[in-house]
């Protein structure tokens, strides 16, 4: 089975929580804090596997969740960092945001070619253990930071094969016969329509330079509305630099070759005007059975449209070498394969899930505040220093903690307690 489009769910690992722990040893009555940090969560990383040519693996597995970091422990034990989760995809895979359909990453771009990987989501960092929060004025910090949650995302993987030239034409025009003659690929060839059911790539060796050619299933009128096998296989020639129109010049099936060309080009246009405007070559096949009239019509068509044409009898290899070399020469002057630019910048960093929350409890007139966002700041404040305190007050205001306290009905002179730091509130 050939699968070239799938939606999958990915999630980076959560960071482990920091630990709250105090040294307890024989003969040491008041040990200091010794809670270790949490470990980092695993990243989600896409890699390219040259050996794959379909997204079939994703039919059976659509959920990819990286492991979480371990929690920190006493005796300053750092929680274990989780392993990253690597997801191998075939060459030519484009990763899109499933919600918007926008390109996140083309796994064929220069960046991936260099590094061999793309980190799409980073695992959450581990939280600090209480060891980090000891200061001369706060020797028994009863709190630690929780790990940061890993981000999640739904992505769509789309396989767009990496071919320089793409063969398009009606069923039985002889596309697969051509590929079998000019490359080592051995696609199935038969007289019935829709012999080719999924795209085939062939590597071609030619004088002006080697290239990759794609043979795709035949198109018929209405392919863009789903007739026949539909037009979805055109995605595999979307990156192509050159389109080879393969046409049955014999008209043996009762069709006119010029009509065939018009139909195919119409379908290309409906699929993608950008693709339809790519440079072309005309391969007029089955010339052994073609009338002089048909040959002349095709010659005229090629001349009028400024398209190079090769008359051939692919079945016996007549004209196939000429076509092979012509494609190679044409490619020399054409721009490189299309690479899809990212359309959205992903925020890969994992977020502090509960960092948003401000919890306030009034216990016997003392306002106890819990707010992740302030923990790091508290640690850096010197409470004996005026400037440092002024800064702290500013932070309390800017982070919305003052507003939250006022909402809870705090009055001048009331006591506030934040992670072991106590002070009186004055407006």
Ligand X SMILES: Nc1nc2c(ncn2[C@@H]2O[C@H](COP(=O)(O)OP(=O)(O)OP(=O)(O)O)[C@@H](O)[C@H]2O)c(=O)[nH]1
Contact positions vs ligand X (CB under 6 A): 169, 171-177, 189-191, 193-196, 217-218, 285-286, 288-289, 313-315
Please identify, using beta-carbon distances, which residue of 72 and 218 lies nearer to Mg ion. 218
Please identify, using beta-carbon distances, which residue of 66 and 313 lies nearer to ligand X. 313
Please identify, using beta-carbon distances, which residue of 310 and 314 lies nearer to Mg ion. 314
Q: Provide, rounded to whole angstroms, the least separation between the CB of residue 246 and Mg ion.
A: 10
Residue 172, token pair as written in the block: 């039985």
3-class secondary-structure state, position 395: helix
Q: Provide, rounded to whole angstroms, the least separation between the CB of residue 195 and Mg ion.
A: 5
Q: Which residues pair with 416 in a beta bridge?
A: 367, 423
Backbone CA torsion sign across 179, 185, 191, 196: negative
Phi-psi region of 61 (alpha: psi -120 to 50; beta: other; left: phi over 0): beta
Give the residue carrying structure tokens 């330079």. Answer: 209
Q: Distance between CA atoms of 157 and 38, rounded to whole angstroms? A: 33
Lay out the sheet containing 200-204: strands in order across.
200-204, 211-215, 165-168, 242-248, 280-285, 309-311
Q: Provide, rounded to whole angstroms, the least separation between the CB of residue 226 and ligand X.
A: 17
Lay out the site mask for Mg ion across 123-162 (x = CB under 5 A, - = otherwise).
Answer: ----------------------------------------
Q: Provide, rounded to whole angstroms, the least separation between the CB of residue 173 and Mg ion.
A: 8
Please identify, using beta-carbon distances, which residue of 167 and 261 lies nearer to Mg ion. 167
294 touching Mg ion, by CB under 5 A: no
Please identify, using beta-carbon distances, which residue of 20 and 219 lies nearer to ligand X. 219
245 touching Mg ion, by CB under 5 A: no
Residue 199: CB atoms within 10 A of its CB come to 24
Q: Provide, rounded to whole angstroms, the least separation between the CB of residue 286 and Mg ion.
A: 14
Q: Provide, rounded to whole angstroms, the least separation between the CB of residue 296 and ligand X.
A: 18
Binding residues for Mg ion, rule CB under 5 A, total 4
183 touching Mg ion, by CB under 5 A: no
Phi-psi region of 71 (alpha: psi -120 to 50; beta: other; left: phi over 0): beta
Q: By the 8 A CB rule, do 413 and 425 touch?
A: yes
Please identify, using beta-carbon distances, which residue of 22 and 311 lies nearer to ligand X. 311
When CB distances are held under 5 to 8 angstroms depending on the partner's kind, the choice from ligand X, Mg ion, none that residue 155 binds is none
Among residues 226, 224, 223, 228, the alpha carbon closest in space to that of 194 is found at 228
Q: Distance between CA atoms of 136 and 382, rounded to whole angstroms? A: 9
Alpha helices in 164-286 (DSSP H): 175-182, 257-271, 273-276
When CB distances are held under 5 to 8 angstroms depending on the partner's kind, the choice from ligand X, Mg ion, none that residue 177 binds is ligand X
Cα distances from 258 to residues 170, 253, 255, 296, 348, in angstroms, run 12, 13, 9, 11, 52
Please identify, using beta-carbon distances, which residue of 295 and 368 lies nearer to ligand X. 295
Please identify, using beta-carbon distances, which residue of 67 and 249 lies nearer to ligand X. 249
With CB atoms as reference, the residue minimizing the distance to ligand X is 218
Lay out the site mask for Mg ion across 185-204 (x = CB under 5 A, - = otherwise).
Answer: ----------xx--------
84 touching Mg ion, by CB under 5 A: no
Task: Kindly calculate the radius of gyration of the chain based on its CA atoms and give it in whole angstroms.
Answer: 33
Q: Which stretch binds Mg ion (CB under 5 A): 171-179, 233-241, 266-274, 319-327?
A: 171-179
Q: Provide, rounded to whole angstroms, the least separation between the CB of residue 224 and ligand X.
A: 17
Please identify, using beta-carbon distances, which residue of 157 and 246 lies nearer to ligand X. 246
Q: Distance between CA atoms of 35 and 78, rounded to whole angstroms? A: 9
176 touching Mg ion, by CB under 5 A: yes
The backbone torsions φ and ψ at residue 43, rounded to the nearest 5 degrees and listed phi first, read -80, 160
Q: Provide, rounded to whole angstroms, the least separation between the CB of residue 125 and ligand X.
A: 53
List contacts with Mg ion (CB under 5 A).
Answer: 175-176, 195-196
């Amino acid at each position: 089975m050939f699968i070239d489009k799938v939606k999958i769910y990915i999630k980076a690992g959560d960071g482990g929580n920091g630990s709250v722990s105090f040294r307890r040893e024989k003969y040491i009555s008041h040990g200091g804090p010794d809670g270790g940090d949490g470990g980092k969560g695993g990243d989600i990383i896409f890699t390219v596997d040259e050996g794959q040519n379909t997204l079939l693996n994703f039919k059976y597995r659509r959920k990819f969740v990286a492991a979480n970091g371990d929690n920190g422990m006493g005796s300053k034990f750092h929680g274990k960092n989780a392993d990253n989760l690597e997801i191998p995809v075939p060459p030519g895979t484009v990763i899109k945001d499933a919600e918007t359909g926008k390109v996140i990453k083309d796994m064929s771009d220069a960046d991936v070619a260099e590094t061999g990987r793309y980190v799409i989501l980073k695992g959450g960092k581990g939280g600090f253990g209480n060891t980090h929060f000891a200061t001369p004025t706060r020797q028994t910090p009863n709190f630690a930071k929780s790990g940061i949650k890993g981000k999640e995302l739904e992505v769509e993987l789309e396989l767009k094969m990496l071919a320089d030239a793409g063969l398009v034409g009606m069923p039985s025009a002889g596309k697969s016969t051509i590929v079998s003659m000019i490359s080592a690929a051995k696609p199935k060839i038969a007289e019935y329509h829709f012999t080719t059911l999924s795209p085939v790539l062939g590597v071609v060796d030619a004088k002006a330079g080697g290239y990759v050619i794609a043979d795709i299933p035949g198109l018929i009128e209405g392919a863009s509305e789903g007739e026949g096998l539909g037009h979805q296989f055109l995605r595999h020639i979307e990156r192509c630099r050159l389109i080879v129109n393969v046409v049955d010049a014999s008209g043996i099936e009762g069709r006119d070759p010029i009509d065939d060309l018009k139909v195919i080009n119409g379908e290309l246009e409906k699929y993608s005007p950008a693709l339809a405007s790519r440079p072309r070559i005309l391969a007029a096949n089955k010339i052994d059975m073609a009338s002089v009239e048909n040959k002349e019509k095709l010659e005229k068509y090629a001349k009028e449209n400024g398209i190079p044409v090769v008359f051939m009898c692919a079945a016996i290899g007549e004209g196939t070498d000429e076509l092979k070399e012509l494609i190679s020469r044409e490619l020399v002057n054409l721009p490189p394969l299309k690479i899809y630019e990212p359309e959205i910048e992903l925020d890969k960093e994992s977020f502090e899930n509960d960092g948003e929350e401000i919890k306030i409890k009034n216990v016997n007139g003392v306002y106890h505040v819990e707010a992740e966002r302030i923990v790091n700041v508290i640690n850096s404040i010197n409470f004996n220093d005026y400037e440092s305190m002024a800064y702290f007050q500013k932070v309390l205001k800017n982070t919305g903690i003052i507003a939250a306290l006022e909402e809870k009905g705090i009055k001048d002179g009331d006591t506030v307690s934040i992670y072991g730091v106590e002070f009186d509130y004055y407006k």
